[in-house]
Structure 1
Amino acid sequence: MNLKQLQFALAVAESGSFSRAAELCHASQPTLSNAIALLETELGGRLFSRTTRSVTLTPFGDYLLPRIRDTLNSRDELVAAAKAYHDPKHRILRLGFSPLVDMRRLDQAIAPFRQAHPEINIFFKECFIDELSNRLLSEQIDLRIIPAAVSQPSEERCAFYTDSLYYLPAQTDDSPGGTPIRLTDLPATPIILTGGGCGLGDVLSAVFTSENATFEAYPGQAISYSVIEDWASLGVGAGILPGAKVSPGNRHRCPLRTRQGEPACIDYVWAWHANRNRPAYLQEFLDYIATLAPEIVKGQFGTG
C-alpha cells in the first residue's frame, strides 16, 4: 500500500468517476484502476461499486473513506509541522471530530476564521470518541467536536450546534413515514447501532435516560449510518440518527419527540483541555468559536 493508491481512491470517491479521478490525479485511467484494484486486494474488499453510469462507495468503502482521508491528512500535517518548526510564523490548528458531526456545519463555521487567517493550516481528523480523547491528551489535536453527552468533566467546552433526531422505522413497523413520534411511543423494534465508537449508542442512551425511557439495541451492528438506513428499509430493525446523517431522500424518517412533544436532539460541543498553555492564535480561535461560530451555523442551518 502507498499514498498514491490512497490518493487515487479518495479522488474517485470525491469525483464519483474513475475517468475524472484519473484526470485530476494526472494519471492514465488504467494506472488508476490497477492501483485501486491492488489496494482493494490488500484491504480485503471492494471500495467501489461500478456500473456503466455511476461509481459509488460500497459499505466497506464508506467505512474506510474517513480513514483514507485521515491518513492523507496526516502526511500533509507532517509536512506542515516540519515547516512550522523551521518557520515559527507557520501555524497549525488540528480539529478532531466524531463521525456523528456534520462536516458541512463544521466547515461553514470555521470558514470566516480560515479566510481571515490564511497563515494557519487547519487539519481535520475524524476519529472515534476514545481515540479523540487520547489524541487530545497526547496533544495530537487541539480541540475535539463531539456530542455533549460524551464530553469529559476535565474538559472546557462551548456549544456548537444542535441536530434533531429522526426515527427510521423498520419496513415491518406500523409507524407512518414522516409522522413525528414520541420516543416513549416507539414500537418494540430493536434499534440498530454502529459497531464503532462514534458515540451514537451513548448519545441515544443519554437521551432515553433523560426521558425515563429505554430502548432495545439490535444484537448486530451496522458498519455505517447508510447501512442503518438500508437495514431499516429491509425490516432488519429500526434506526435513530441525527438529521445530518439521514439521506435527504429518505421519506420514511420520522421526527423524534420527547414526552412533552419537543424535538429530541443531540447537542454538539467544542471541547479542549483546561489549564494548558496555548499559543495566541489558538486562544483567538477559541474566542472565535465561542462568539461568532454559533451564529454562523444558526444562520446557515437553523437551530435543528
Structure 2
Amino acid sequence: MGERLSIEGLRYARAVTETGSFSAAARTHGVTQPALSNGIAKLEASLGEKLFDRSPRGVALTKFGDTMLPRIEQALRALDDVHAEAARWKAPVPETIRLGVSPLINPKIVASAYRAVCDEPGEDARKQLVLREANMSELRGALEDGDLDIIVVPSVEPMPRYEHRIIDSEPLVLVETRPGAGRARVEDLAGKQLILMPDTCGLTAFTRSLIREHDLSITAYPGEAGTYRVLEEWSQLGLASAMLPKSKLAAADTTYREILDTDGSVLEIFYETIWSPHSPIANQLVHLAGRLVEHNS
C-alpha cells in the first residue's frame, strides 16, 4: 500500500456506491466504464483489498469496502473543505446563491434547494436563492464566467477542475403505443426508433451515451419533439418510442415500462451539482450539495 491514492479513484468509488452501478457511475463522470473500472482497480491495488464485488445481480460493497467507504467520503469532504476554506479567505461572502437548473431537473430538487438556502437557521437565514433555468451549454458557460455559483444538471458531461456531487436520481421509462409486459431490458431497445429532443437539456446526450455504451442499433425519428409532453404524446400516437425520466410524464394514464440495465438494476438518470472549488462561497456550496442529498434521499 505504498502508492499514492488517486483522488479520481476515490471519487469513482464514491460514485459507484451512490449509483449502485459501474456503468451508471461512469456516465455521471463522463468517462467510459473501462476507464472507471481501471481507476477503481488501481485504487484497490493501492489499498490492498477489493472494495466491490460484481455479480449478475449488481454491485455490492465487500466487507473491506463497507469499512473504507465512510473514510473515503470523509477524505473527499475534507479535500472539498480545504478548497472551500481557502476560497472563503479570498473574497467577501455575497448574500445570494445563484443556482442554474436544466429543464430536465425534477421540480422537487428545486424546491429542496429553496428550503436548503432560505430555511437555513442562523446567519445564512438572510440568504436569497436566485434561480435560472437554461440549457446545458448556457448553464456551463455561466458557471465558467462566474455568472452562476452552482448548477444542477443531468450527469452526462464532465467538467474538469470543477467539483461534482450526485444529489438524486430517477428511473428512465419507455413509452410506446403497444408496450410489452413487465420491465424492458436495455438490450430490448435495439432495433427501435426513438423520438429525441434538441440536445440542450441533457436527455438526448444521456440517450446517445447509453446507445454508444451498449452498442445498440437504434435509429432516431426524423422529426424532433420540443417538449417532454410532445415527446410523450407522439410516442402514444405510434410515431416511434420515447424514453424520458419518470417525473416528466404528463398524463396520469400513460402506460410505460421501466428499463433494466445490463446488471439487472433499474436504469436511472442521475442529477448532480457542479461548482467551482475556488468560488468565494465554496464552503456554502459544499454544504448546499450535502443538504440536497439529505432532502432527496
TM-score using structure 1 length: 0.61
Separation in 2, partners of 1:183, 1:217: 16
Tell me what 1:148 maps to.
155
The residue aligned with 2:105 is 101
Q: CA deviation at 1:258?
A: 1.2
Which digits, 9 at most, give the CA deviation of each residue in 1:105-158, with x for residues without a partner? 231244143212331111111111111111111111111111112231232111
Task: Give the aligned partner of residue 96 of structure 2.
Answer: 92
Aligned 1:62-211 pairs, distance under 5 A: 91-116=95-120, 117-169=124-176, 171=177, 173=178, 175-176=179-180, 179-186=182-189, 188-211=191-214
Shift of 1:221: 0.6
Distance in 2 (alpha carbons) for counterparts of 1:230 and 1:283: 44
Alignment correspondent of 2:14: none
| Change beyond 3 A, Cα 1:143–1:277 | closer
- Please name the residue that 2:266 is paired with: 263
Q: Hey, what does 2:292 align to over in structure 1?
A: 293
CA distance in 1, matches of 2:213, 2:168: 19
Aligned-pair CA distance for 1:285: 3.4
Q: Counterpart of 2:230?
A: 227
Query: In structure 1, the residue corresponding to 2:147 is in which secondary structure?
Result: coil
Cα distance in 1 between the residues matched to 2:253 and 2:267: 19
| Structure 1 residue 278 corresponds to structure 2 residue 285 | no
Counterpart of 2:35 in structure 1 is none
Would the alpha carbon gap of residues 133 and 285 (structure 1) be closer, same or farther in structure 2, given more than 3 Å must change?
closer
The corresponding residue for 1:237 is 240
- Partner Cα distance (1:89, 1:146) in 2: 24
Matched residue count? 203
Deviation per residue, 1:57-87 (Å, 9 max, x gap): xxxxxxxxxxxxxxxxxxxxxxxxxxxxxxx
- CA deviation profile, 1:227-264 (whole Å, cap 9, x unmatched): 00110111111100011111251431110111233111
Q: Give the drift of 1:89.
A: 8.2
Partner letter of residue 278 of structure 1?
Answer: P
- Aligned-pair identity (%): 22
* Aligned partner letter, 2:180: P
1:277 CA drift (Å): 4.0
Gaps of 5+ in 2: 1-91
Find the aligned partners of 2:191 and 2:266 in 1 and give their Cα distance: 21
Asked if structure 2 preserves the Cα contact closer than 8 Å seen for 1:110 and 1:293, the reply is: no
Q: Match of 2:108, as an amino acid?
A: R
Letter in 2 for 1:258: D
Q: Alpha carbons of 1:98 and 1:262: their partners in 2 closer, same or farther (altered >3 Å)?
A: same
Query: Larger relative CO (CA 8 A, sep 6+): 1 or 2?
Result: 2
- What letter matches 1:107 in structure 2? A
Indicate if the aligned counterparts of 1:113 and 1:285 stay in contact, CA closer than 8 A.
no
Q: CA RMSD in A?
A: 2.1
Conserved? CA contact 2:235–2:241, under 8 Å: yes
Match of 1:215, as an amino acid? I
Q: Secondary structure at the match of 1:193?
A: coil
5+ residue gaps, structure 1: 1-87, 299-304
